[in-house]
Amino acid sequence: MVRTIAACSVSSSRSGWIRRLFAIRVKQGQCVALADGRLWTIKSLLRRRRKSRSLTTFEASLPDASTALSFAAKWIDGRKGQQGEWLIVMTNSPNAKAAISAYKNRWAVECLFADAKTRGFNMEDTRMTAPDKIDTLTAILAIAVTWAYRCATQTMGLKAIKRKVHGRREKSWFRTGLDALRAWITFAPQNAVRAWQNQFPKRFKIP
Instruction: Give me the average pLDDT of each 10-residue run along the chain (207 residues).
Output: 40 44 90 94 87 83 91 83 85 88 80 86 90 93 93 89 78 93 96 87 52
157: left (phi over 0), alpha (psi -120 to 50) or beta: left
| Strands, sheet with 3-11, edge to edge from the N-terminal-most edge strand | 3-11, 18-25, 85-91, 69-76, 56-60
| Tens-place pLDDT, residues 136-165 | 999 999 999 999 999 999 999 878 888 877
CA contacts within 13 A on the Cβ side of 110: 10
Residues found in the chain: 207
Instruction: Give ∠ CA 171-176-179 in degrees, rounded to 5.
Output: 120
**Spatial distance between the Cα atoms of 64 and 120, rounded to a whole number of angstroms:** 44
Helix (H) or strand (E) holding 6: strand 3-11
Name 82's bridge partners. Answer: none
Would you say the pTM of this structure is higher than 0.75?
Answer: no
